[in-house]
């Protein structure tokens, strides 16, 4: 890896709080997450058509109007991200070429992560309730595999069954298993002891 550089972005306070809350909930550093994932997002920024001068002015006017409508200056939170120097320079260059504010790009990426269907939100939901998806499958799937022949495709299709038993049932030793264990222990020969 090359030299590192720390950049500062100012993100809307609500968005920054949501991002911080989700990353805290799943036990990762938000700035470390951004440091690792932002470079991959530069591909999408590179594929974005660039704004012309008029479009850039319209975007800045739109942002200003939003703050005037609310009657207050939007509250922002400072976010520091450490990137490889080449990634930070590439992001700055792409933002200049596309006439997009760097803070707007980073804020849009964070909005993608925490959105209703965003990957960070999904990971958070999965990690705070890891069995939810499994329980849904248990309720809505057959107990055993179901096979049928699809004449149109000339193939067999299978809906996999999902067992209904408790996933930890192997941790409980019932009376039959206990009796078997007792017999095994009591029947050991002296040379096996």
**Distance of alpha carbon 74 from alpha carbon 98, whole angstroms:** 24
Q: Is residue 46 part of a domain?
A: yes
Number of domains composing the chain: 2
Higher pLDDT pick, 16 / 129: 16
Higher pLDDT pick, 105 / 147: 105
pLDDT of amino acid 36: 94
Residue 52's contacts (CB-CB under 8 Å, 6 or more residues apart) are: 99
Judged against a pLDDT cut of 80, whether residue 74 lies above it is answered with no
48: helix, strand or coil: coil
* pTM exceeds 0.75, yes or no: no
Judged against a pLDDT cut of 70, whether residue 46 lies above it is answered with yes
Torsion of CA 25, 131, 136, 144, to 10 degrees: 160
Q: Is residue 30 part of a domain?
A: yes
Q: What is the mean pLDDT of residues 152-169?
A: 74
Q: At 67, is the pLDDT very low, low, confident or very high (cuts 50, 70, 90)?
A: low
DSSP H or E segment with residue 114:
helix 102-114
Residues 25/123, Cβ–Cβ less than 8 Å? no
pLDDT of amino acid 88: 96
pLDDT of amino acid 5: 94
Higher pLDDT pick, 66 / 30: 30
Q: Which residues pair with 159 in a beta bridge?
A: 146
- Residues 45, 105, single domain; the answer is yes
Judged against a pLDDT cut of 80, whether residue 90 lies above it is answered with yes
pLDDT of amino acid 180: 85
Q: Is residue 133 part of a domain?
A: no
Q: Is residue 134 part of a domain?
A: no
Structural domain harbouring 149: 142-187
Judged against a pLDDT cut of 70, whether residue 71 lies above it is answered with no
């Amino acid at each position: 890896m090359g030299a590192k550089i720390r950049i500062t972005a100012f993100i809307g306070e609500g968005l920054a709080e949501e991002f911080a809350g989700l990353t805290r909930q799943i036990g990762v550093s938000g700035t470390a997450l951004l440091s690792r994932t932002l470079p991959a997002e530069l591909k999408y920024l590179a594929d974005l058509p660039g704004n012309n001068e008029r479009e850039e002015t319209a975007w800045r006017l739109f942002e200003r109007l939003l703050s005037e409508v609310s009657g207050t200056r939007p509250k922002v939170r400072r976010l520091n991200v450490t990137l490889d120097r080449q990634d930070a320079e590439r992001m700055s260059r792409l933002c200049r070429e596309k006439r997009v504010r760097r803070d707007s790009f980073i804020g849009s990426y964070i909005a993608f992560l925490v959105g209703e269907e965003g990957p960070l939100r999904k990971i958070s939901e999965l990690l705070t309730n890891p069995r939810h998806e499994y329980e849904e499958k248990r309720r809505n799937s057959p107990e055993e595999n179901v096979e049928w022949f699809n004449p149109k495709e000339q193939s067999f299709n299978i809906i996999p069954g999902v067992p209904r038993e408790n996933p930890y049932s192997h941790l409980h030793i019932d009376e039959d298993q206990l009796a078997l264990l007792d017999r095994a222990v009591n029947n050991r020969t002296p040379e096996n002891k």
